Structure 1
Amino acid sequence: MAAVRWGILGAANFARHHMAPAIHAAKGAELVALATSDPAKAVPFQAFCPGLRLHDSYEALLADPGIDAVYIPLPNHLHVEWTLKALAAGKHVLCEKPIAMQDSDFDALIAARDASGLLAAEAYMIVHHPQWQRARDLVQSGAIGRVEHADVVFSYDNRADLANIRNRPETGGGGIRDIGVYAYGSVRFVTGAEPEDLQARVRFENGVDTWAQVTGTFAGPQGRFSYAALTSMRLFPRQEVVFQGETGLIRLTAPFNANVFGEARVELHRPGLSMTVERFPAANHYVLQVEAFCTSVRTGAAYPCPLEFVRGTQAMIDRIFAAAVAVS
Structure 2
Amino acid sequence: MKTVRWGVLGNAKFARDHMAPAIHMAENAELVALGTSKPGSVAGWDFCPSLQQVSYADLLADPTIDAVYIPLPNHLHVEWTLKAVAAGKHVLTEKPISMTAPEIDQLIAARDASGLLVAEAYMIVHHPQWIRARELVQGGAIGKLKHVDAFFSYNNEDEPGNIRNRPETGGGGIRDIGVYTYGSARFVTGAEATDLSCRMIRENGVDVWAEVDAILEGPLGRATYTAMTSMRLQNRQEVTFHGDKGLLKVANGPFNANLFAEARIELHNGQTVTSERWPSANHYKLQVENFGRTVRTGAAYPCPLEFTVGTQKMIDAAFAVAREISL
TM-score of the pair, normalised by structure 1: 0.98
2:205 corresponding residue in structure 1: 207
Return the offset for 1:107: 1.6
Q: Tell me the secondary structure at the aligned position of residue 43 of structure 1.
A: coil
1:109 corresponding residue in structure 2: 107
C-alpha separation in 1, matches of 2:309 and 2:319 = 15
C-alpha separation in 2, matches of 1:64 and 1:114 = 22
Counterpart of 1:194 in structure 2: which amino acid? Answer: E
Counterpart of 1:168 in structure 2: which amino acid? Answer: R
- Runs ≥4 residues deviating over 6 A: none
Q: Tell me the secondary structure at the aligned position of residue 22 of structure 2.
A: helix
Q: Tell me the secondary structure at the aligned position of residue 42 of structure 1.
A: coil
1:247 corresponding residue in structure 2: 245
C-alpha separation in 2, matches of 1:252 and 1:106 = 29
Q: Tell me the secondary structure at the aligned position of residue 228 of structure 2.
A: strand
Q: Note if 1:270 corresponds to 2:283.
A: no
Structure 1 unmatched ranges of 5 or more = none
C-alpha separation in 2, matches of 1:25 and 1:261 = 21
| Cα-to-partner distance string for 1:8-54 (whole Å, 9 max, x where unaligned) | 00110000000000000000100000011334321321x11111111
C-alpha separation in 2, matches of 1:134 and 1:124 = 17
State whether residues 37 and 56 of structure 2, in contact with CA within 8 Å, keep that contact through their aligned partners in structure 1. no
Q: Note if 1:9 corresponds to 2:21.
A: no
1:28 corresponding residue in structure 2: 28
Q: Tell me the secondary structure at the aligned position of residue 296 of structure 1.
A: helix
| Cα-to-partner distance string for 1:220-263 (whole Å, 9 max, x where unaligned) | 11110000011000000000000000100000121000111111
2:286 corresponding residue in structure 1: 288
1:170 corresponding residue in structure 2: 168
| Cα-to-partner distance string for 1:170-195 (whole Å, 9 max, x where unaligned) | 00000000000000000000000100
| Cα-to-partner distance string for 1:52-110 (whole Å, 9 max, x where unaligned) | 1110x211110011100000000000000000000000000000000010011012100
Q: Tell me the secondary structure at the aligned position of residue 71 of structure 1.
A: strand
Return the offset for 1:287: 0.2
2:19 corresponding residue in structure 1: 19
State whether residues 96 and 179 of structure 2, in contact with CA within 8 Å, keep that contact through their aligned partners in structure 1. yes
Q: Please, what is the CA RMSD of the aligned residues?
A: 0.7
Counterpart of 1:125 in structure 2: which amino acid? Answer: M
C-alpha separation in 1, matches of 2:212 and 2:236 = 17
Return the offset for 1:269: 0.2
2:257 corresponding residue in structure 1: 258
C-alpha separation in 2, matches of 1:201 and 1:140 = 30
Structure 2 unmatched ranges of 5 or more = none
Residue-pair matches, total: 325
Q: Note if 1:63 corresponds to 2:61.
A: yes
Q: Tell me the secondary structure at the aligned position of residue 40 of structure 2.
A: helix
Q: Note if 1:88 corresponds to 2:96.
A: no
